[in-house]
Amino acid sequence: MSNSIYDELLESECEIKEYELEDYESNTPRWCKGCGDHGILSSVQRLLRDRQIAPENVVCVSGIGCSSRFPHYLKTYGFHSLHGRALTVATGVKLSRPDIHVLTVMGDGDCFSIGGNHWLHSIRYNTNMTVLVFDNEIYALTKMQASPTSRQGQYSNTSPRGAYLDSLNPLTVILGITNCSFLAQSATWLPGHMDATLQRAWDHKGLSFVRILQKCPVYMPKNFGETPGDYPAQFLSHTEGVPVDRGLLRTAPAVEHDPRDIHRAREIAQDSERAPFGLLYHNPELPSYEELRHGRVTRMAPQERLDALDRKLDTFALKLDD
């Protein structure tokens, strides 16, 4: 047989594919009309297209909630895991396959409440992945129970007289955790800013944590206002940060902030008057867990591992001669 068929096949396989948005589109999203989750999905799809990331090189891990339906709609590998446990699964995926991109998606209840312990320790582990929390300040999938970020006085099924406690501030918590390397915040009603924030997070080596304030028009129709300017905010501006488009300044002022300055980042995070949008903190020098772990443990070659496993399993086998 002539070599030409093989040559042709090889050529067609080696053709460099240009990924289009539709290469990242899967099932039709079942989120409600007007839900901010639609915008986040589009933003992630634009990011993967712009970076020309092969869909098979991405694993999207989620917990449980409206937000956690995300992997069903993104055409990459996906894992719709357990409520609060997305970060544990994602850490396992990344440690066994450091070569692939891991995107973790959670809701505010998922991450800050039932998943609180995993949240804290994952920040400290600083595993190289992108983590998005869709914060609509409520448990939406289960039809409106108070979450840790629900505001004081918020009516819900679990707080019929209004939430007694002041809300948890995830930004100040994160900035207090050892080895925190990247923290940014954006909102679903600012698509351009969200795109730029996700791009910045994707490029970070370590755990990039992005809190996205997310509109839930069904259970929390009023909590972020009707137009972008209604919600009191400020944009963090810096050459190393998330670019602030001039149009955004019509909705809120900008302040200069060096994302390397953790003390100033903590002060900004503490400000309850205006939500900060942009890059609060960035330290690219901190070690990721997989770097430390893989750097210290001598890894066996795959065949060596199989042989070692066989030897171990043999020790449990019945010895028929005895």
Ligand X SMILES: Cc1ncc(C[n+]2csc(CCOP(=O)(O)OP(=O)(O)O)c2C)c(N)n1
141 binds ligand X, rule: CB under 6 A: yes
148 binds ligand X, rule: CB under 6 A: no
Stretch that binds ligand SF4, among 72-80, 153-161, 210-218, 286-294 (CB under 6 A): 210-218
Please choose which of ligand SF4, ligand X, none residue 139 contacts, taking the beta carbon within 5 to 8 angstroms, the exact cut-off set by kind.
ligand X
List the structure tokens of 243.
């670019």
Closer CB to ligand SF4, 148 or 276, in the complex: 148
Stretch that binds ligand SF4, among 30-38, 159-167, 195-203, 262-270 (CB under 6 A): 30-38
Q: Rounded to whole angstroms, how far apart are CA atoms 134 and 194?
A: 12
Q: 218-253 in b/e burial notation, b at 16+ Cβ within 10 A?
A: bbbeebbeeebeebebbbbbbeebbbbeeebeebbe
Q: Which of 219, 224, 235, 281 binds ligand SF4 (CB under 6 A)?
A: 219
How many CB atoms sit inside 10 A of residue 6's CB?
10
| Interior angle at CA 120, CA 114 and CA 121, nearest 5 | 110
Please choose which of ligand SF4, ligand X, none residue 110 contacts, taking the beta carbon within 5 to 8 angstroms, the exact cut-off set by kind.
ligand X
Q: Which of 24, 37, 113, 277 binds ligand SF4 (CB under 6 A)?
A: 37
Q: Which of 53, 105, 106, 140 binds ligand SF4 (CB under 6 A)?
A: 140
Shortest distance in whole angstroms from residue 198 CB to ligand SF4:
19
118 binds ligand X, rule: CB under 6 A: no
Q: Which of 24, 31, 70, 139 binds ligand X (CB under 6 A)?
A: 139
| Tokens 């400020």, residue located | 234
Radius of gyration of the chain (CA): 22
List the structure tokens of 3.
């070599």
Shortest distance in whole angstroms from residue 50 CB to ligand SF4:
25
Please choose which of ligand SF4, ligand X, none residue 147 contacts, taking the beta carbon within 5 to 8 angstroms, the exact cut-off set by kind.
ligand X
Stretch that binds ligand X, among 96-104, 108-116, 232-240, 269-277 (CB under 6 A): 108-116
Q: Which residues neighbour 104 within 8 Å (Cβ) at sequence distance 6 or greater?
A: 60, 61, 62, 86, 87, 90, 129, 130, 131, 132
8 Å CB contact between 280 and 172 = no
List the end-to-end C-alpha distance of the chain, in Å, as a whole number.
57
Q: Nearest CA to 144 among 129, 134, 154, 132?
A: 154
Please choose which of ligand X, ligand SF4, none residue 64 contacts, taking the beta carbon within 5 to 8 angstroms, the exact cut-off set by kind.
ligand X
Closer CB to ligand SF4, 135 or 290, in the complex: 135
List the structure tokens of 276.
């900060």
39 binds ligand X, rule: CB under 6 A: no
182 binds ligand SF4, rule: CB under 6 A: no
110 binds ligand X, rule: CB under 6 A: yes
154 binds ligand X, rule: CB under 6 A: no
**DSSP string across 195-246:** HHHHHHHHT-SSEEEEEEE--BTTTBTTTT-SSGGGS-EEEEE-TTS----G
72 binds ligand SF4, rule: CB under 6 A: no
Question: Contact positions toward ligand X, by CB under 6 A?
Answer: 64-67, 83, 107-110, 134, 136, 138-142, 147
Binding stretches for ligand SF4 (CB under 6 A): 31-32, 35, 37, 66, 136, 140, 216-219
